[in-house]
A and B are shown apart, each in its own frame.
Chain A
Amino acid sequence: MSEMTLKLSVWRQENAADAGKMVDYTLPGVSEHMSFLEMLDVLNEKIIAEGGDPIEFDNDCREGICGMCSLVINGIAHGPEKRTATCQLHMRHFKDGDHITIEPFRAEGFPVIRDLTVDRSSFDRIIAAGGYVSVNTGNAPDANAVPVSKEAADKAMDAAACIGCGACVAACPNASAALFVGAKISQYALQPQGDPERARRAQRMVDQMDAEGFGACSNHAECEAVCPKGISIMNIARMRREYLKAIIS
């Protein structure tokens, strides 16, 4: 098993008020089988053993489905591998002696809490503004009582694959949340269940997105390229159509 020694530049920041700075570490003994987060775990053990404060970073399932992990690795959100969240990025994609820069997702809407962790509750507020379907309580409806076309179901599923990690915002030159909001609006707009509230939803979610300080979409499409689920910018176009329909209706 080959082992690597890496040079790491990591963003360290005490708290939201601290200015923060890049700190360099050298980490020997990195196995190619480690995930990126396991590599950081090993680095943290080394830092703790030397009496320092471990680097704080978000993570949860480590299976690429929960959307908790983040990080901008060498300038790319979730690192160099396509359709891969940081937790599923393995160290075999790096080589001995590599210099890796690790930064938090950066956006006005994602303030840094500490080190590499950022506050993504702006996304929760966007969802709360309209990213739901209001249903009456009572028995579950019969299966297939509401027909959904195969095409609409497929598109809605593709949009619903969004795990809300925020890599789209991190990668966007404008820190725009358009891909996230586009995906969330689309997953409902494409289905009859989402139809009654679609105008109000589009309007409220877009207004909340702007209010949270996210940028405007300039159609760079960098978001689609870093999205661990490969969500298409077609959803951004749909968001615009939905918003336009909502304000002129």
Chain B
Amino acid sequence: MAASTSVSNAFRSTIVKKILMSLTGLGLVIFVLGHLIGNLSLLFGPEPFNLYSHKLMSLGPLLWVIEIGLVAFFLIHAWNGISVSRHNRRSRPVRYAKTGDAGGPSKKSLSSVSMIFTGIILLVFLVIHVATFKYGAYYTTVIDGVEMRDLYKLVYQKFHDPLYVFGYTGVMILLGFHLRHGFWSAFQSLGTNHPRYSGPIYTIGVVLAIVLAIGFIAIPLYTYFN
């Protein structure tokens, strides 16, 4: 049967908004995971990290594509997240005097009800983070006769600034919260729910959230205390 809704109408539907959020959200999860693995080279000193970041920066046009893609993913995700949250607030104009938790099969948690809060903090953090590192001080170093950016020096400085280190740590805890609900939620938003796999997917999401949060917290704390 032919669809009666136009494409522009479909993008106004809450279901399509959530599908866009889940696809971009999962894309961002893959990015964050890759980012963490790359950053682990920081633990091995200046050379491995600078070589790694030099390799990334030498990607040329490919890097451009990745960066534009990332910005687009963040914008689509955040735009729809804010839009959906505003819609949801309007859907209950009079609040309950008393709220409770029904328990049982419910997956409502502190992390599920604070998605927009953790999301907006992540967005603000992201701007500061990119300004601090990508567009931060440009030191140079020479490794094996090749001159390259000494990003390690900048990271080392920032990770010795207690304000930055503990702010960063706090935001990474919030990232863990965002993903604890976000990971499984993305699968449900995509319409995948199966009695055999949905339980494990929820568990994988919790483990992933903890691993990512601990991984991202470990690097600045290790640098700070060394």
Contacts and interface: CB of A to CB of B under 8 A. Distances in A.
A233 B188 contact: yes
Contact of B94 (A106, A174, A207, A236): A106
Contact of A246 (B3, B19, B99, B194): B3
B102 A243 contact: no
B23 to A, nearest CB: 12
Given A218-B112, A218-B185, A233-B188, A175 B91 contact: yes
B118 to A, nearest CB: 13
A22 interface: yes
Contact of A244 (B7, B14, B15, B188): B15
Nearest to B198: A234
A225 B108 CA distance: 10
A103 B100 CA distance: 12
A173 B115 CA distance: 12
Given A76-B100, A220-B106, A237-B193, A197 B13 contact: no
Among A76, A174, A210, A213, chain B packs the most CB atoms within 10 A around the CB of A174
Contact of A200 (B1, B90, B97, B99): B1
A243 B193 contact: no
Secondary structure class of chain A's binding surface, majority of residues: mixed
B99 A219 contact: no
A32 interface: no
A214 B14 CA distance: 10
Contacts of B96: 72, 75, 103, 106
Contact of A237 (B14, B99, B192): B192
26 contacts: A75-B96, A75-B98, A76-B100, A76-B102, A103-B98, A173-B113, A174-B91, A174-B92, A206-B13, A207-B5, A213-B90, A215-B87, A219-B107, A219-B184, A220-B112, A220-B113, A221-B105, A221-B106, A234-B198, A240-B19, A240-B189, A244-B15, A244-B191, A246-B1, A246-B3, A247-B16
Given A11-B97, A240-B19, A248-B3, 10 more contacts: A101-B97, A106-B96, A175-B88, A203-B5, A216-B15, A234-B198, A238-B191, A244-B15, A244-B16, A247-B3
